[in-house]
Amino acid sequence: MKPFISGKAFVLGNDIDTDQIIPAAHLVYKLDDPEEKKNYGRYAFSGVPIERSGLPQGNIPFINEGNWKSGYTIVIGGKNFGCGSSREHAPFALQVAGIEAVIAEGYARIFYRNSIDGAFIAPFETAYQLSKEIRTGDQLELDTTKCILKNITQKKEYQLNPLGDIEHILRGGGIFEYARTSGMLQKK
């Protein structure tokens, strides 16, 4: 996790489940093949139906056709982000698509843990209903050390909840890499 993350926001509503993040039909690609891996980014959020997406401005694609990287860097969600099946591919798909952080009011436990274990994305929590304040396309800056989110477009600032103990794991590159570098596991 970088000390500062900046880029455009992609805003969703409550209860975004793992099948919306990466539909099961797209779990057939090899994770270790560089070309096949791009499909996880290409199909990220392809399962979000318009009526449940909570997009404040309507049907805005996350990935433009023919691409596998998104033009967005930070996802803003509501409550219960990542609910549904225990799909490790969900935070991985977001990372492949170029997402570095998700800021939500709350997470499903398994999505939260998968995000941290692999250091795929930084899952920040907030007490604010940011999905009602921030708009898709707003330019954001996130100070991951101070947990401060700045909406450059709207000239607003928000204090996010501290990451606590997971900060070391995210900055260390995931649970196993952190355990190795901190002496909990033997180095290879």
pLDDT at position 25: 87
Amino acid in position 179:
A
Per-residue confidence (pLDDT) for residue 98, from 0 to 100: 97
Element holding 10 (H helix, E strand): strand 4-11
Confidence at residue 64, expressed as pLDDT on a 0 to 100 scale = 86
The model carries a pTM of 0.92
Q: Pick from 153, 146, 165: which is nearest to 76 by CA? A: 153
> The tokens of 82 are what?
């990542």
Residue 54 pLDDT > 70: no
Place of tokens 């002496």: 183
Mean local confidence (pLDDT), 67-96? 93
Which residue do the tokens 């274990």 mark? 117
In the chain, what are the domains?
4-162 (3.20.19.10)
Name the pairing type of β-strands 156-159 and 139-143. Answer: unpaired
pLDDT at residue 58 greater than cutoff 80: no
